[in-house]
A and B are shown apart, each in its own frame.
Chain A
Amino acid sequence: MEPNKLEQDFKQKLEQRTIQPTEMAWDRLDAMLSVTEEKKKKPNRTWMYMAASFLALLLVGSLFLNQESQNAQNGIENNNNTVTQGKSERNITLEHTVKPTVITNPVIKQQAAVAVSTNKTAPAKNTEVKKEAVKNNIEPTVNKEALAATITNDAVKVKTGPAKITVDAANLLASVESTGVTEQVAATGKPKKQSVKVDSNSLLTSVEGELNESFRGKVLQSVAKNYNIIKSSVASRNHE
């Protein structure tokens, strides 16, 4: 199966042959080469742009996230501060409101003790208290209510007073029991005042807690939303 003489002759003659291509051929090749060069260059550039934009996005995203988290932290701190301030203010006001009643209590007690004789002085003190209270706009009504409450309490006390005394007299002999009873009395006497105080405090605190929770929730939700948006956008950028 070796190539024979004829085929060797074919080969020789074909090897020596040259066919000059048309002049158009080089122009076409030139055009094709420039097209592929442009194609080659463009993808590289676009890749670079993609990488650069991705890096920029990452930077901006990370900065945003940092800022967002910082803002969120600051916001929470500020809220806490304001809330604590509010608390303290309210506590102060509460104390203010409570104090007058405490102050008035002796007055009323005195009234009860001295009977109606010092009625004239008591109103004056009350007016003083009122004047003090006038500084805080809402307090007068509260004071009045508190006064009324204290008065009723005093009345109850006055009513229960004799019973106490009787019980005390009966139990004075047994001194050990008396402490328990006084404790009981203290337990029975105090709760009404305490209940009033605890109610307001607990209400306020609960409301404040709710406010806090809602605010925190809002802030956290917004943070989470923003984070998710950035996350998804970054992810989609990656996919693109």
Chain B
Amino acid sequence: MENQHRSTHQPIRTVLKVINLHQEEKDIIKLAADNNRHAQQKIYVKHAPKMLSICRQYIKDLHLAEDVMITAFMKVFTNLKNFEHKGSFEGWIRRIMVNECISYLRVQKKVGFLEDEYYVEDTFNNIESHFSVDDIQSLIDGLPDGYKMVFNLYCIEGFKHQEIAKMLGINEGTSKSQLSHARKMLQEQINKQKNYVNGTE
């Protein structure tokens, strides 16, 4: 009986908890928007590890990635008044982070895109990967910055080619071809690693 009772109340409790959390987040955002340093720190502590991970996807140097994350957080706090609580707050921060990474790569590293329209509807081997996160990161790090951006935006962030083209100021075809090149390169690298592993065996 007691167990049943507890189980019926569990969802309500969680819902209440979620609502409370949501309300708490709203309050903190409001405080942070008014330059309350404590609230700002709370937001930073909560989101920074995830955001640094995202920045690290685009920028190989962890220190540079952290720099970019800090400037992106600056933008988060200065634009906090414009946040309309429509989507998730994390998603909003994430978008700012990604944009900051892109602008860093484009402005600081002057990454350009070759406007070629070559891409193939490649059937990427649906291999079950057993890569660790570090392996994945090193694979992505191996890509040129242009390929890396498009790959991250398409495969990790889930943007469409049209959106990526708009974000990077390139043609949709170029975005597709960049992704195609990135995939090809990744496949080659994975094959190399496989061969290396096979060879050692």
A residues near B (Cβ < 8 Å) are 1, 3-7, 9-11, 13-22, 25-26, 28-30, 32-33, 36-37
Contacts and interface: CB of A to CB of B under 8 A. Distances in A.
B133 interface: yes
Contacts of A3: 154-155, 158
Interface stretch (B13-21, B48-56, B109-117, B192-200): B48-56
A25 B52 CA distance: 11
Contacts of B48: 20-21, 25-26
Contacts of A25: 48, 66, 69-70
Given A5-B127, A29-B44, A29-B73, A19 B35 contact: no
Nearest to A4: B124
B78 interface: yes
Contacts of A21: 48-49, 52, 66, 69
Contact of B156 (A1, A5, A10, A33): A10
Contact of A19 (B37, B49, B70): B49
B41 A19 contact: no
B129 A10 contact: yes
B74 A33 contact: yes
B133 A14 contact: yes
B148 interface: no
Nearest to B127: A6
Interface size band for B: 35 or more
B49 A7 contact: no
B92 to A, nearest CB: 17
A3 B129 CA distance: 14
Contacts of B37: 30, 33
Contact of B40 (A1, A6, A22, A33): A33
A1 B57 CA distance: 21
Contacts of B127: 5-6
B70 A28 contact: yes
Contact of B57 (A14, A18, A29, A37): A14
B84 interface: no
A152 to B, nearest CB: 103
B35 to A, nearest CB: 6
A33 B77 contact: yes
Interface in B106-134: 121, 124-129, 131-133
A4 B126 contact: yes
B189 to A, nearest CB: 12
